[in-house]
Amino acid sequence: GTQISLILGQKEVMDGNIILREMSSGVQEIIPLEKILNEVKKRLKK
């Protein structure tokens, strides 16, 4: 299944953030857009 989901709505675009949700736990974090690529790579290596 899917490990993570990225949620990008109008509010996130305006704030310069993206929501990263870990599907196994349901935990969500707000991550700055410029850091999302490194954050996704780090989490997929686990």
Which pair of tokens denotes residue 35? 């850091």
Q: Which of 6, 3, 1 is CA-nearest to residue 36?
A: 6
**Sequence spans of domains, the chain:** 4-44
Q: Which two tokens stand for residue 42?
A: 């780090």
pLDDT in tens, 3-33: 999 999 999 999 999 999 999 999 999 999 9
Radius of gyration of the chain (CA): 10
Q: Which amino acid is at 32?
A: P
Give the count of alpha carbons within 13 A of 33, CB side only: 10
Return the pLDDT at 46.
Answer: 73
Higher pLDDT, 19 or 46: 19
